[in-house]
Amino acid sequence: MNSSFTRRWRNTLAITAIAALTAIGFASPAAAAPTIDPGATGSLTIHKRVNPAGVLTPGNGLEDPAAPGGPLAGISFDLQSIGNVDLMTTAGWSAAGAFAKDPGTIPAADLGTAVSGTTTEPDGTYTFGGLPVGAYLVTEQLTPAQIDSGITGAAPFVVTIPITDPDNLDNWVYNVHVYPKNHQTSPTKTVDDGPGSTYQVGDLINWTISAQVPAQATDAYAFKDELVAHLEIPANVGDNISVAIGGTALDPADYKFGYDAASDNILLVELEASGLAKLNAVTGNGQDIALTITTKVVSLPENGIIENEGIVFPNSGYPISGPGVVTPPVESKFGAINILKVDAADGTKFLAGAEFKVFKSEADARAFAADPVSNASLPLKAQENGAGALVDTFTTGTNGEVSIFGLRASNWQDGAEVSDPADFQNYWLLETKAPQGYELATAPFGPITVKYDNAAPTVLPFGDLDVPNVEKTELPLTGGTIATGIFFLAGALILGGISLLVVRSRKRGAMA
């Protein structure tokens, strides 16, 4: 065995591995049949189990079809004979018992050449056959991929051929069955960016890393979230994180955390002794342990997609300095509304100076239009043309364009696509200043869908809408020659006086 793997299994919590001969019916020769056949051979059948539930009891060396946990194929074991252990003597049985209590005390020179076997489908078993009478060390050998998948290794254990028959103490059992068990941690990460919390850059998003409580007691547990640069945890970090077991929040004293947004933007949360005690009190009952983090969206990547994942360290076999068990990534998606303001009679004439505000509902837009002072907080904030500070007024440039960048995608919520249009988070525009010579729109424009396209998952979501402006009305003129001259001048100024607002989809990567 290489040294790094040896260190790993010594530090890894044994999830009901058969760690002592008492767990497989060990008894002294005096309690069993008077003699062992030194020329007999036996077998060791390993039944690999994963994620057993309920209260676990030691095996007795006999086959047990009702053993808890699901079968786990593809796990390799090394079997090594232990020299200088003579089971024909009391001293030999005493030595085997001592090694069973602590396999790490077996002298390396006493270990024979390893013979390997791998559990197979469908029952997760492997049988080492033709074994002479003696004591053996069994060591599980997980691959790096299995470790990365969250499988916690079973500790090495010692078994003898034969063992005392637990049902007939006057008999020896030469064909031994053991049920080493693993816990496989398969953490997930979810995002809560739905209505009520997230509409725009600057809003809050909740992320939750969760995993099933281990099947047996663990000696350490930690979470890590390597936050992307577009997120940060607001000040008073402790108020924006929480750990819960089975839905019941732990006391802040049950865990410790470290976070520095300025240095690496990494959050590390570790259970303290009191938190571990609460976790270990509910092992094997199918509950989850979860870390929830509240972050603020401080910026957006070019494609508007914030992707994040979490890491779990389920025991000391996964040191926090190592890779841990990584969750699948989860995404929050943001997009833009692109506005093109043109003259309705001449589509090549672009109109500058039109000002707009955007709202999360028609009701908000109408409330603001009726009373801008009392409802000054209703307009959403975003980046104008995808750059600079967050603003709530968006003004068309000389090209007639302006982009409102940083609105949550209408049809993507809580990490998944929303299929029912009735559940879309749509938006509404309100023109608050018309271009010179054009009438101000009298009603909000919408609903506007900032739509994510699952056929083009890396393309920034956009909305589409055409909105005509009403021609500005001129008052009748009175007087003589001077008035007539003014009339002709005014007519020239309002020629083609209908403008058109186009909220259009942009091609991939296009920004005003």
What is the model's pLDDT at position 265? 93
Return the closest-CA partner of residue 446 out of 370, 368, 391, 366. Answer: 366
What is the C-alpha to C-alpha distance for residues 486 and 493, in angstroms, rounded to an integer?
A: 11
Percent of the chain with pLDDT over 70: 82
| Distances 433 to 384, 386, 443 between C-alpha atoms, Å | 16, 21, 13
Reported as a single tens digit per residue, the pLDDT across 73-112 is: 999 999 999 999 999 999 999 999 999 989 999 999 999 9
Q: Is the pLDDT of residue 203 over 60?
A: yes
Stretch 175-191: mean pLDDT, rounded?
88
The answer to whether 195 and 179 are in contact (CB under 8 A) is no
What is the model's pLDDT at position 147? 82
Stretch 225-248: mean pLDDT, rounded?
95
- Read off φ and ψ for residue 157, nearest 5 degrees: -145, 160
| Dihedral (Cα; 275, 182, 7, 149), 10-degree rounding | -90
What is the model's pLDDT at position 54? 57
Determine the 3-state secondary structure of 96 from DSSP. helix
- Read off φ and ψ for residue 362, nearest 5 degrees: -65, -35
The answer to whether 433 and 440 are in contact (CB under 8 A) is yes
Place of tokens 């005096």: 30
Residues 6+ apart with CB under 8 A from 379: 357, 358, 359, 368, 392, 393
Q: Is the pLDDT of residue 463 over 80?
A: no
The type of residue at 342 is V
Report the number of secondary-structure helices (H) and strands (E) in the chain. 6, 37
Place of tokens 């919408």: 446
What is the model's pLDDT at position 15? 27
Q: Identify the residue with better confidence: 154 or 424.
A: 424
What is the model's pLDDT at position 466? 54
Reported as a single tens digit per residue, the pLDDT across 151-166 is: 877 889 999 999 998 8
Q: Identify the residue with better confidence: 170 or 17.
A: 170
> Domains plus CATH for the chain?
3-184 (2.60.40.10), 188-328 (2.60.40.740), 333-504 (2.60.40.10)
Predicted TM-score (pTM) of this structure:
0.71
Stretch 107-121: mean pLDDT, rounded?
93
